[in-house]
Structure 1
């Protein structure tokens, strides 16, 4: 017991300090300290990598990006079959050594290989006997007991659906990077494929938060637009191909918010915050996220969505984006930044195609800013005619919007009849 009376040597070595991983260096800014929309989008894409692929059943893989080249495992059809009612024949037997058409052939009625100089009765879709290379239609012959009189001849392959005519074993079906739509899945099934190697749907958690916020239809809920914000973004994420989890936290208490976000990280590849319309709602969530990881805020030379808050949270450094409190602004910002991230996580091309159209009205922009304008389109004689939505912040009119016009920072105005470029939303 004397051991406990000895003087213990204190460990004077300094404790190791584990530094939190930092966000990557930010992109350059303009003289006003603002990033361009494109630079910020590329920066955010650099925070994520495509999800790890795994084998998935055909129906479960619908809409996903395939991660391997796939070849048919079977021939379709598996055997050569008759296209018409008639007689299976070896086409070379229809002519004698001098090249003249034979007059009669023996009717073979047993199973097995077709003998030389014989024919066998077949119906539409029947498998040809081994040795047969063509089908004599009924109108080409006349049955006379066990003999068949021949009036017309056929060549190899005539009136036959050949083995592997539709698909041959080993034939390429899909290439890596193809999207599995309904037709692709049907093709894979016909080729004998039951599972494919794909990236899973990105799991996106959309959190609506704000003081007094409640689900639609529940008594006591306040700020209907705030509730609409998170529902709108959750639906947009689902339309982008994500598996969406939606939750509402009706408080601005930072501890409660931080715990609510933490509870969701186990099922999140991306977290999107869609707060209420009040500044206090946004600031409370930003503060809560700041306790969970590396969070930053940037000013962008874009309209709408000038302020962007983002970061990496939790042990797994899950990306998080905060959208504006105004639902229309939140939706536009989602299309600019969240949509590309979801696409990259899924292994799809995150770049959005710009489509050209002609404006039907004068449009004014914000000098020095990339401006995203909601608009509708009508196609006339192959020309896309673009009309700006009259009330840019009206949620009711968002339903009619089918494109976002992209005006670059150098564009101050566009006159009627001039070209503009837009993103399609549908």
Structure 2
């Protein structure tokens, strides 16, 4: 592994240093051409210009007659003789002729104006002129909305539903994007059972792997969940190595027993390069990251406690997923007014579970604390960030929060 960041006097690595270190070890995935719908929510890897004019043809704005403006006046500048009405499918509008059009109809080649129906009277297949129009009048010109070569999206933008409509309307069916990272969540622990199975004495339902898999999906990944539910070292080793062929990132979850964590750590040491460190963060102090297998696939091991696992995911796994996507890795941080006093510890970043509410343009946040860890997370919609310099936040003071339910 490359040289790791220095530790502080307490033997801890800062959250900022640890995040930067992990991101330096992971490269964005290679882009390739992908169909528009498949590319939704992915990062565009090229500047994209319109391939066509929009609209592609000049069309009528009003009901009337497609004409050549020059045909409406004679040599003396007076209204010309009546124009002959010809069929709409004419290849090119003849001189001295007109075609009946409705709003939105494509003008025939050669026509450069629309004479409103009230500007002439139709009799015996000919139009007697009452008023004239100039070239371009009552016409929606080709390229009026968008011209060939107009910049539509720039490299680094994320393709959303409106962008897909824009590209499709501009004649594009594919776009160069980075693929969704393939994240494999590997659950282990001999006391865990899948939801829906009977829970016997000494067992617990595996919730962490489902929560983390869903969080990875929310971050933009394609997710595979694999459950070992064993502490057998050989079985865990086989499971992880089997998954590396389809993984851009492996995330390990467990049931929280120390032996669960240590077994996976031993396996990681056997098949890769590993960094284990105490980070100046609460919860989630101990963090283990590795580059495993022949292809050095990044692997992150999360703590067993549900709150620690989820907070660690948001602090470290989510940035890694976003890095693979080529997307911004930082959380959306906003300010909110604390509804009550909160305490932290100098020298550590404290991530409290919080509930943000809004009154007009003002956000307020309160810490959520419940005995049931998963219930606490379900009730929260933000993480309250008390950085290393903060010891106390008083009620009414502003505090930074990471919003969990908004991009």
Category of TM-score, reference length = shorter chain: over 0.9
Contact 1:214 1:222 in 2 (8 A): no
Q: Within the alignment, does 1:269 sit opposite 2:251 as a pair?
A: no
2:21 maps to 43
Where does the alignment leave 5 or more consecutive residues of structure 1 unmatched? 1-22
Change (3 A) 1:389 1:97: farther
Q: Within the alignment, does 1:217 sit opposite 2:191 as a pair?
A: no
Q: Within the alignment, does 1:205 sit opposite 2:184 as a pair?
A: yes
1:99 deviation in Å?
4.9
1:20 maps to none
Q: Hey, what's the Cα distance between the residues in 2 that align with 1:314 and 1:283?
A: 19
Change (3 A) 1:192 1:400: same
Listed as ranges, the matches of 1:153-164 within 5 Å are 153-164=132-143
Root-mean-square deviation (CA), in Å?
1.9
2:31 maps to 53
1:6 maps to none
Once the two structures are superposed, what CA deviation does each residue of 1:379-416 show, in whole Å capped at 9, x if it has no partner? 21211111111338621131221111111111011011
Pick one of 252, 260, 272 that aligns with 1:293.
272
Where does the alignment leave 5 or more consecutive residues of structure 2 unmatched? none
Contact 1:225 1:277 in 2 (8 A): no
Q: Hey, what's the Cα distance between the residues in 1 that align with 2:354 and 2:288?
A: 26
Q: Hey, what's the Cα distance between the residues in 1 that align with 2:371 and 2:152?
A: 45
Pick one of 106, 109, 114 that aligns with 2:83.
106
Change (3 A) 1:367 1:345: same
User: Does the residue aligned with 2:11 lie in a helix, a strand or coil?
Assistant: coil
1:81 maps to 59
Contact 2:231 2:260 in 1 (8 A): yes
Change (3 A) 1:190 1:359: same
Q: Within the alignment, does 1:64 sit opposite 2:45 as a pair?
A: no
User: Does the residue aligned with 2:38 lie in a helix, a strand or coil?
Assistant: helix
Once the two structures are superposed, what CA deviation does each residue of 1:125-181 show, in whole Å capped at 9, x if it has no partner? 222122211212212222132332333333332322211223322222211111111
Change (3 A) 1:382 1:137: same
Q: Within the alignment, does 1:179 sit opposite 2:158 as a pair?
A: yes
How many residues of Structure 1 are paired with residues of Structure 2 in the alignment?
403
1:103 deviation in Å?
6.4
Pick one of 361, 365, 372 that aligns with 1:386.
365
Change (3 A) 1:221 1:194: farther
Once the two structures are superposed, what CA deviation does each residue of 1:3-28 show, in whole Å capped at 9, x if it has no partner? xxxxxxxxxxxxxxxxxxxx111112
Contact 2:191 2:255 in 1 (8 A): no
Give the TM-score taking structure 1 as reference length.
Answer: 0.89
Change (3 A) 1:399 1:225: farther
Change (3 A) 1:393 1:46: farther
Once the two structures are superposed, what CA deviation does each residue of 1:361-395 show, in whole Å capped at 9, x if it has no partner? 11111222101111111121211111111338621
Q: Hey, what's the Cα distance between the residues in 2 that align with 1:40 and 1:200?
A: 26
User: Does the residue aligned with 2:193 lie in a helix, a strand or coil?
Assistant: coil
Listed as ranges, the matches of 1:296-307 within 5 Å are 296-307=275-286
Q: Hey, what's the Cα distance between the residues in 1 that align with 2:202 and 2:223?
A: 23
Q: Hey, what's the Cα distance between the residues in 1 that align with 2:65 and 2:129?
A: 11
1:32 deviation in Å?
0.6
Q: Hey, what's the Cα distance between the residues in 1 that align with 2:392 and 2:207?
A: 32
Moved more, 51-60 or 34-43: 51-60
Q: Hey, what's the Cα distance between the residues in 2 that align with 1:224 and 1:98?
A: 100
Structure exhibiting the larger radius of gyration computed from Cα positions: 1
Give the TM-score taking structure 2 as reference length.
Answer: 0.93
Change (3 A) 1:261 1:31: same
Moved more, 282-291 or 240-249: 282-291
Moved more, 369-378 or 66-75: 66-75
Once the two structures are superposed, what CA deviation does each residue of 1:173-225 show, in whole Å capped at 9, x if it has no partner? 21111111111112211222122111111111101110132221123567776
Q: Within the alignment, does 1:149 sit opposite 2:128 as a pair?
A: yes
